[in-house]
Amino acid sequence: MLFLLILFCWGPAVLTSGQVWPLYGTPRKTVTLSSYGGHVFQEEGVWNYTTMLLREDMGVLILGARGAIFALDLNNITHKKAMVKWEVTPTMRTSCSFKGKDFETECQNYIQILHKMPDGRMYVCGTNAFNPTCDYMSYTHGKLILENNRHEGRGRCPFDPFTRSASELVDGELYSATSMNFLGSIPVMMRSLNSSIKTEYTMSWLWDPTFIGIKHVAEGEENPEGDDHKIYFFFSEAAIEFDSYNKMDVSRVARVCKGDLGGQRTLQKKWTTFQKARLDCSLPENKLPFLIQDVFLFCPGNWNTCVFYGVFTPQGDTSQYSTVCAYRIQDIRDVFSKGKFKTMVSVDYDIKWVTYYGDVPDPRPGACINNDARQKGYFKSLDLPDKTLLFIKDKPLMDQAVESSPQQPLLVKKGAAFTSIVVASTTALDGSLHQVMFIGTASGSVLKAVSYNGEMVIIEEVQLFAHSEPVKILRLSGTAAQLYAGSEVAAVQMPLSACDHYTSCMDCVLARDPYCGWDLTTDSCVAINSIHPDTHSDVVQSLRDGNATRCPAVESRKIIQSFHPGKMVSLQCAPGSNLAQVQWHVNGHPVENSDVHRLRHNSLLILNASVSDARHYSCSSVETSKGRDYITQTVTYELRLVDTMTAPSVQPLVLC
């Protein structure tokens, strides 16, 4: 079912379907990291804080940077518990430079991989001056120790520190997506450490990809079909299926089976289950597909409930919009397990990809070993017949794209590009569960957003870094209820909520923050998870309706101000939020632009003030929620004429 997501926006864009699409969402509040109770970590001379591993079992955040790895206190990352350096030797830096790479930037060791091993140790890899190298590391007795068991990281860690790559460690096996060579011309998706297996080096499998993320879904648990666990790869690549004079990229999801051992003769030590499909998350008015930038796997229950959240940006600078889309695991499974394949055909000396309508071998190409395969005598991928393997070798691309759920983006935002996303779950006052998205941007901020019955609300935007420093990575700790972000210049930590920065009942309730509610007894905005069940009736929270009628009326602040005749008086009134509007009244009547009054940027200018302007001026911040107007703050100015016979000479004042 299609439905329109309502975002706070400046104006509509009419689509060919007749629906109205919101141009972009507006965060209700824009706040600083310090006002949110956040922390900043940076070490002098260290850059590129872009690799993170949460060790909640040890209470530390393992942070990988350029030439260094840190262990930071999860509750306050400014507390550095340990540090170990892993720098490039002068000889290797010189050799790297002779190969044409920049001595100061590229010929360093950028930590790219950090994963927890089954035995509690950590697996760490770095670019090592375009000579990717891996090692094992432990954190014991307050110290980070590299074991100096270094080995080649080719195919696991990228050569180039500024090329996107992805990795995931599952049951002691490392799944990676990167390049196999110095030039970056041989892309690969592989499994290594214990048993090695990888993709075919052919254009039909991977064509100039940009790797984004790898996720493991335990689809073999409690599966009536006896299916296997899956590894999902997310990336963008040049589209082989579209006729285009210019190179056009598309977003992809690919999957392999965890138990894949390769083929006996065909596809030896290669994936026998590799399939890929297009991911759609675009606006109808955009001609080019949007490209995925990050993905987060959210599973509120067993694997059947899993949803992939992805952030997308346009290619070719054709638009300033970014989008968020969600994909259900079952929809992806249906495309791979039931969908048609594409096949190559030659048309007028040109190769085209078209829908394949021929017979499909049995067992189905790309499928895992399941109960049906076992009944037919196939117990592992090495047993599969060549006809099945040759089919998937030549036809790994599915004909149908994976559609988002719902079939429109969850969120559309104009402005800074989205770079990263994590999703948290929290319980509201009424016991309902809500998924809260934290979205990193290229302008160094993070958006906090949640959907209520299809209405997407951007609760606030927190500025984490300087506007020129994009958010490169986000990690979420449910145990510590903290969000961690990394950039080139620093790492930061912020709580998932900061209820005490809502200053009034109206402010707290209209924020529609599922973490917070207004306590009428203590007259403060409090965390929902801190409320005793017996006091729920004293707390106001209205997430779906945004109803603040239980809040007491806002008291007006009164300011007495004197003015000189013939001078200009400027009265300022800041709105209570980005969604509020300022309304001015003089002696109870609305103020309009005239020869005497000018309304400018929430300020009221009184030109050439005279005796008749010695009146009462009131400014109200009015915010609309679900069709109802709420006054969130009021200031009343009483202007009094200065007695020029007795008063000293003063300059015109700006009232705030």
Taking the alpha carbons at both ends of the chain, their separation in whole angstroms is 50
Tens digit of each residue's pLDDT (9 = 90 or more) over 393-402 = 999 999 999 9
Q: Establish if 184 belongs to a structural domain.
A: no
CA 505 to chain CA centroid, Å, is 30
- Statement: residue 169 has pLDDT above 70: yes
Confidence at 22, pLDDT banded by 50, 70, 90: very low
- Cα separation, 42 vs 299, in Å, equals 33
Pair 274, 245 in one domain: yes
Q: Which of 106, 159, 165 is nearest to 132 (CA)?
A: 159
Q: Let me know: does 56 contact 480? Beta carbons within 8 Å.
A: yes
Q: Establish if 301 belongs to a structural domain.
A: yes
Number of structural domains in the chain: 4
Tens digit of each residue's pLDDT (9 = 90 or more) over 91-112 = 999 999 999 999 999 999 999 9
Q: Establish if 9 belongs to a structural domain.
A: no
Tens digit of each residue's pLDDT (9 = 90 or more) over 226-265 = 999 999 999 999 998 887 667 899 999 999 999 999 999 9
Pair 39, 53 in one domain: no
Q: State which amino acid sits at residue 125.
A: C
Structure tokens at 82: 């340990």
- Statement: residue 184 has pLDDT above 50: yes
Pair 312, 371 in one domain: yes
Pair 267, 381 in one domain: yes
Q: Establish if 191 belongs to a structural domain.
A: no
Confidence at 653, pLDDT banded by 50, 70, 90: very low
Q: Establish if 7 belongs to a structural domain.
A: no
What is the reported pLDDT for 244? 65
Q: Establish if 643 belongs to a structural domain.
A: yes
- Statement: residue 6 has pLDDT above 70: no
Confidence at 360, pLDDT banded by 50, 70, 90: very high
The whole-number average pLDDT for the span 417-442 is: 97
- Statement: residue 161 has pLDDT above 60: yes
- Cα separation, 156 vs 126, in Å, equals 10
- Statement: residue 8 has pLDDT above 80: no
CA angle 370, 372, 377 (to 5 degrees): 95
Confidence at 1, pLDDT banded by 50, 70, 90: very low
Q: Which of 415, 430, 462 is the last residue of a domain?
A: 415
Phi/psi at 387 (5° precision): -65, -35
Q: List the CATH number of the domain containing 583.
A: 2.60.40.10
Half-sphere exposure at residue 203, Cβ-oriented, CA atoms within 13 angstroms: 8
- Statement: residue 219 has pLDDT above 70: yes
Q: Let me know: does 7 contact 412? Beta carbons within 8 Å.
A: yes
Strands 187-192, 411-414: pairing is: unpaired
Pair 391, 283 in one domain: yes
Pair 39, 54 in one domain: no
Tokens 């003030």, residue located: 609
- Statement: residue 192 has pLDDT above 90: yes
Q: Establish if 180 belongs to a structural domain.
A: no
The whole-number average pLDDT for the span 75-84 is: 98
Pair 363, 270 in one domain: yes
Q: Which of 200, 354, 219, 333 is nearest to 277 (CA)?
A: 333
- Statement: residue 481 has pLDDT above 90: yes
- Statement: residue 514 has pLDDT above 70: yes
Structure tokens at 549: 């009628």
Phi/psi at 35 (5° precision): -70, -20
- Cα separation, 310 vs 296, in Å, equals 6
Q: Let me know: does 333 contact 327? Beta carbons within 8 Å.
A: no
Pair 338, 208 in one domain: yes
* Strand residue runs (E) in 223-364: 230-238, 249-257, 275-279, 291-298, 307-313, 321-328, 342-347, 350-355
Structure tokens at 14: 């009419």
| Lowest-confidence pick of 506-510, 536-540, 646-650 | 646-650
The whole-number average pLDDT for the span 646-651 is: 45
Which residues 6+ apart lie within 8 Å of 181 measured at CB?
A: 154, 159
Pair 534, 563 in one domain: no
Pair 572, 605 in one domain: yes
Share of residues in the chain with pLDDT > 90 (%): 77
Q: Which of 368, 398, 415 is the last residue of a domain?
A: 415
Pair 272, 394 in one domain: yes
Tokens 């987060």, residue located: 296
Tens digit of each residue's pLDDT (9 = 90 or more) over 337-358 = 999 999 999 877 778 899 999 9
Q: Let me know: does 274 contact 367? Beta carbons within 8 Å.
A: no
Q: Let me know: does 123 contact 115? Beta carbons within 8 Å.
A: yes
What is the reported pLDDT for 561? 85
Which 8-state DSSP code applies to residue 364?
Answer: P
What is the reported pLDDT for 649? 44
Q: List the CATH number of the domain containing 205.
A: 2.130.10.10
- Cα separation, 212 vs 295, in Å, equals 7
The whole-number average pLDDT for the span 453-460 is: 93
Round the average pLDDT of the chain to a whole number and report it. 91
Map 366-396 to HEC letters.
Answer: CCCCCHHHHHCCCCCHHHCCHHHHHHHHHCC
What is the reported pLDDT for 245? 65
Q: For residue 125, what are the domain limits?
A: 46-172
Structure tokens at 292: 């995925």
What is the reported pLDDT for 417? 93
How many other CB atoms sit within 10 Å of the CB of residue 52? 19
Q: Let me know: does 380 contact 292? Beta carbons within 8 Å.
A: no
Q: Which of 377, 399, 415 is the last residue of a domain?
A: 415
Give 51: exposed, middle or buried? Use CB within 10 Å, 0-12, 13-18, 19+. buried
Pair 21, 51 in one domain: no
- Cα separation, 127 vs 146, in Å, equals 16
Q: Establish if 194 belongs to a structural domain.
A: no
Tokens 């790297």, residue located: 96
The whole-number average pLDDT for the span 44-58 is: 97
What is the reported pLDDT for 158? 97
